[in-house]
Chain A
């Protein structure tokens, strides 16, 4: 037995954690959702598990394309506001207007406390999402997740996005990088079955690079992207010659 076992908190109850996960994910039936929302008001373990799942999955909201609301929506909201928020003494469960069912767990203070306290990787700059598009006629829209990270500390540095129906690709900086004056960053990509990486051009630190994909095939899962440090006019050989500064692979999520 590992003598360090005692140093770790006990694992969450699997049944409670599974229920919390599916509640946050959204796969529960309406009846089961209402049941969870009622239990949240009185079961701290379930609340904690839901809180953890909300925090884990929250970044996925970034995959939903923004939609401009009708210009009248704010006026409609404003017209519905009570003059002042009602004082909220401790209530076991609030009633959500939509559907009128008990759904008040999210005003529980403990539920959200600590979300911001998970201060891991505070120095990490940013990770990102890449979206590719299936042909408009296809029933499924293809979405990729891509993060270009520094190989040493895995800190995210760049994101790649396809546009124009996948015919154009943008490399977008997430922060600033410094490159020695006599050197340049060069952008490369290689799919699994390609013989060699293809140069997508030289990169100006801190600026977005847009590349027409031209003759290149559409992006595919696991396709490699990297930035290498090369002479200021680019690699003399047409292949990467310098150290890798950032690297990542395309991950298909939908």
Chain B
């Protein structure tokens, strides 16, 4: 891992906009395994997660032209495209694999994570965000924190979270609302 290993996502997106396939391939080579990890946690079925990733990369290619290379945050944009595609897929399909039985192992390769957050022009901001988010999550009541993480990472609906945490639906909804408010204030 190298902290100086940086990748210019905005330049890569600009190259995509010029029709350079090599740039999209570079984004894929660098991010596909992380993006598939994000999509698979939400979609919970490997073939469909790969389909989501496929469609998201086409979308990135087609929309790259609208991306301003000078503004940064290209990496966050790429992740959002994939995550929202996965979330829409999950809401369009009844996922048959409950999150409890998920075959996706949750072991985390920290070296890969650090490399993951070391690259890119937005690396400093992402790292700072991660530190702040960790601190704010740490201040939350564990039950509310779990609701937030289950929703973001596993794409759980209110109902799925209620089922998994054995809490009434109304309680889960109110915990999430208050949890989000608390996060917003903490990270302000």
Interface residues of A (CB under 8 A from B): 17-18, 21-22, 24-27, 29-30, 33, 52, 54-70, 73-74, 76-78, 80-88, 94, 96-99, 101, 103-104, 106-109, 112-122, 124-131, 133, 139-141, 143, 145, 147, 149, 156, 159, 161, 163, 170, 172, 174-175, 221, 249, 251-254
- Interface size range on B against A: 35 or more
- In the assembled complex, B24 has its CB within 8 A of some CB on chain A: yes
In the assembled complex, how far is the CB of residue B1 from the closest CB belonging to chain A, in whole angstroms? 9
Assuming the A-B contacts A96-B88, A172-B110, are A26 and B155 also in contact, with contact meaning beta carbons closer than 8 angstroms in the complex? yes
Asked if residues B61 and A128 are in contact (CB atoms below 8 Å), the reply is: no
Residues of B near A163 (CB, < 8 A) are 107
Main secondary structure of the interface of A (DSSP, over half): loop
Q: Which B-chain residue is minimally distant from A94 (CB atoms)?
A: B63
Instruction: Using CB atoms and an 8 Å cutoff, list the residues of chain B in contact with chain A.
Output: 3, 16-17, 19, 21, 24-25, 28, 32-34, 36-38, 40-42, 46, 49-59, 61-68, 71-74, 76-77, 79-81, 83-85, 87-92, 100-101, 104-114, 116-118, 121-122, 124-135, 137-138, 142, 145-146, 148-153, 155-158, 161, 176-177, 180-181, 183-184, 187
- Check A85/B124 contact, CB under 8 A, given A107-B63, A116-B73, A133-B107: no
CB pair A59 B133 closer than 8 Å = yes
Interface of B is mostly: helix
Instruction: Determine which of A82, A120, A159 lies in contact with B114 in the assembled complex, contact meaning CB atoms within 8 Å.
Output: A159
In the complex, what distance in Å separates the CA atom of A76 from the CA atom of B131?
37
Contact (A127, B153) CB under 8 Å given A33-B87, A69-B36, A115-B76: no
Q: How far is the CA of A172 from the CA of B3 in the complex (A)?
A: 13
A-B contact count (CB 8 A): 304
List of A residues within 8 angstroms of B72 by Cβ: 115-117
Output the least CB separation between B67 and chain A (Å). 7
Q: Is there contact, CB below 8 Å, between B130 and A62?
A: yes
Residues of B within 8 A of A25 (CB): 148, 151-152, 176, 180
Q: Which of B71, B80, B104, B131 is in CB contact (< 8 Å) with A65?
A: B104
Q: Which residues of B contact A101 (CB under 8 A)?
A: 88
